[in-house]
Copies of this chain bind each other. A is one copy, B any other.
């Protein structure tokens, strides 16, 4: 079902260079070889994408929805080999990958529904006023159109939901944009299986072949060539801060700069208010330990910082959390590189002044992740930005504050985040009311009495946030709003009805909701 090819449009391509994947559980190379795509492949894929762009963008909502649903169907049709391949390449357990496959296909189907509903077109009509004084008003109609071919960079930590057919690809397709995926080298077999499923869906739906291409590869040059290509109109990326910023710089230096939607890093502070901590320190600690160690902490929304007021309850929270961490098995991390970076990060924190190790979790071998919990005080935390830096994996820092105002100062000093969580009971509402305005300035999602891991794919979701959590706080990479990243508005003035796009024709042939003279109907 895979042969290690590069997939360009409906065809396959090979390359002089190849690479292999690793099994992180066994810490050994896998047998299959995968072709390493280069600038020549980028050129061909982008030329095809551009040639498909106009026709694909004007496919009807129904046709596009069916394409998204066909992608989901074809991914499901891959069968268990997809799960087995992903398990081998990522070390993630079967239930997690089965769940992720469900989410990936559910996400494609949600976008299909969203495309059909038609709100995303923002069809807006200001009818002509020929008799208006002193000047008549022309007929003005606006809709959203696809921005053009999108480059998608698969993430390592969600080999399905944020990779080849993940949220970026699904939302770009939904918007009517061809996609060129730069496959993540950590799961090339998984990537190729999914890419072939999309290739089939393109063919089944009789779409132009340039709608999708897949370029596996290990080099930064490949990514740079893709973002530099003048036919690429936008970039979706999930990964490290260094990677996201590098792509942003390349995009800015193009003759025509383009938007890069990079979802980069966050420590997702969890604030525990006094009332919540009192009486439930142990319960919260157990919930926290579960959230911290889920997926070996390899989530963008992993709770890397806990903020609370010092005292016996906080001590109990820390002690219980350390105890719980010791009872949770140490899961294998995605790659040896990620594991090494995690170990280095924990070591760096251990060597720092003003911070102390509270405890480590279950000892780990090979590429497994031994969780780590640190304690510091607000003063030390505020003095040293490194203590608030993300350590990708199950590492977290508990910050003890002297009082409420110090807690607020710590929050105000935080950089942009994907999420901020606040634990509270009724008695905490006054304090929470003061903190929520700070929290919403720092993050794309504010949660109460839960844990940040687990991101619902729905209409109200914002998986985004102020820099440096992402490069564009005005957007989300999860949920139906993610489509907006790949759309731009166009206004048509006095265009004859026959030449207007269906979304704006007078008799509304798509039967979509439209805003006419200021009112949505």
Which A residues are within 8 Å of any B CB, using their own CB? 54, 58, 99, 113, 117, 119, 124-126, 134-135, 137-138, 140-142, 145, 147-148, 248, 252, 256-257, 259, 416, 424, 429, 432-433, 436-437, 440-441, 443-450, 454, 456, 458-462, 464, 466-468, 471-476, 481, 487-496, 498-499, 513, 515, 517-518, 520
Given A137-B456, A488-B473, A489-B476: A54 touches B496 (CB 8 Å cut-off): no
| Residue from the list B142, B259, B433, B462 in contact with A499, Cβ < 8 A | B433
Residues of B within 8 A of A489 (CB): 444, 462, 464, 474-476, 481
Is there an interface contact between A499 and B141, defined as CB atoms closer than 8 Å?
no
Q: Which 10 A-B pairs have the closest CB atoms?
A: A462-B491, A140-B460, A142-B460, A447-B493, A445-B491, A126-B458, A126-B460, A124-B460, A473-B488, A448-B495
Contact A446/B58 with A142-B459, A471-B257 known, Cβ cut-off 8 Å: no
Say yes or no: B491 contacts A126, CB within 8 Å.
Answer: no
Asked whether B54 lies within 8 Å of A126 as measured between CB atoms, the reply is no
Complex formed: what's the CA distance from A454 to B444 in Å?
38
Q: In whole angstroms, what is the CA distance A415 to B284 when docked?
A: 57
Residues of B with C-beta under 8 A to A124: 459-460
Residues on B with C-beta less than 8 A from A454 are 135
Specify which chain B residues have a CB less than 8 angstroms from the CB of A490 in the assembled complex. Answer: 440, 443-446, 462
**Alpha-carbon distance A145/B437, docked complex (angstroms):** 11
**Residue among A138, A450, A459 with most chain B CB within 10 A:** A459
Neighbouring B residues of A520 by C-beta, 8 Å: 119, 513, 520
Q: Which of A113, A454, A461 has the most CB of B within 10 A?
A: A461
In Å, the complex CA distance between A496 and B54 comes to: 46
CB distance from A299 to the nearest CB of B (A): 15
- Bound form: Cα–Cα A252–B251 in Å: 11
Q: Which residues of B contact A458 (CB under 8 A)?
A: 126, 137, 140
Taking a contact as CB atoms under 8 Å apart, the answer to whether B448 and A494 are in contact is yes
Which residues of the partner chain B approach A444 to less than 8 Å between Cβ atoms?
488-491
Q: Which residue on B lies nearest to A256, using beta carbons?
A: B467
Q: In the complex, A93→B432 CA distance in Å?
A: 56
A459-B126 CB under 8 A given contacts A448-B495, A488-B473: yes
Name the distance in Å between A230's Cβ and chain B's nearest Cβ: 11
Complex Cα distance, B460 from A517, in Å, reads 9
Q: Which residues of the other chain, B, contact A446 by a CB distance below 8 angstroms? A: 490-493, 495
Shortest CB–CB separation between residue A516 and chain B, in angstroms?
A: 9
Report if A437-B142 is in contact (Cβ < 8 Å); known contacts: A259-B474, A447-B493, A487-B474: no
Cβ 8 A contact of A460, one of B54, B491, B513 = B491
Chain B: minimal CB distance from A232 (Å): 13
Decide: A499 and B126 in contact? CB cutoff 8 A: no
Task: Please report the C-alpha to C-alpha distance between residue A449 and residue B499 in the assembled complex, in whole angstroms.
Answer: 13
How far, in whole Å, are A488 and B440 apart by their CA atoms in the complex? 10
With known contacts A436-B499, A473-B147, A467–B257 Cβ distance under 8 A: yes
Bound: A474/B432 CA distance, A: 36
Q: Determine the distance from Cα of A488 to Cα of B445 in the docked complex, in whole angstroms.
A: 11
Known: A446-B495, A447-B494, A476-B491. 7 other contacts (CB 8 A): A124-B460, A252-B252, A429-B499, A443-B490, A447-B492, A448-B499, A450-B494
Instruction: Determine the chain B residues whose CB is within 8 A of the CB of A429 once the complex forms.
Output: 496, 498-499
For the complex, give the distance between the alpha carbons of A467 and B259 in Å. 11
B residues within 8 A CB of A54? 437, 441
Q: How far is the CA of A443 from the CA of B142 in the complex (A)?
A: 13
Is A474 within 8 A of B145, CB to CB? no
Say whether, besides A474-B487, A490-B445, A499-B433, A462 and B142 are in contact (CB < 8 Å). yes
Residues on the B chain within 8 Å of A113, using CB: 518
- Give, as a whole number of angstroms, the nearest-CB distance from A499 to chain B: 6
Check if A461 sits within 8 Å of B494, measured CB to CB: no
Nearest residue, chain B, Cβ from A117: B518
- Point out the residues of chain B lying under 8 angstroms from A493, CB to CB: 445-448, 450
Nearest CB in chain B: distance from A100 CB, A: 13
For A141, the closest partner residue in chain B by CB is B460
Report the bound CA distance from A496 to B142 in whole Å.
38
A135 contact set on B, CB distance < 8 A:
454
Q: How far does the alpha carbon of A445 sit from the alpha carbon of B139 in the complex, in Å?
A: 12
Report if A456-B495 is in contact (Cβ < 8 Å); known contacts: A462-B489, A473-B147, A474-B487: no
Chain B residues, Cβ within 8 Å of A424: 496
Q: Which residue of B lies closest to A127 (CB)?
A: B460
Decide: B492 and A140 in contact? CB cutoff 8 A.
no
Bound-complex Cα distance A196 to B461 (A): 42
Contact partner of A432 among B256, B473, B499, CB < 8 A? Answer: B499
How many angstroms between the C-alpha atoms of A456 and B136 in the bound complex? 10
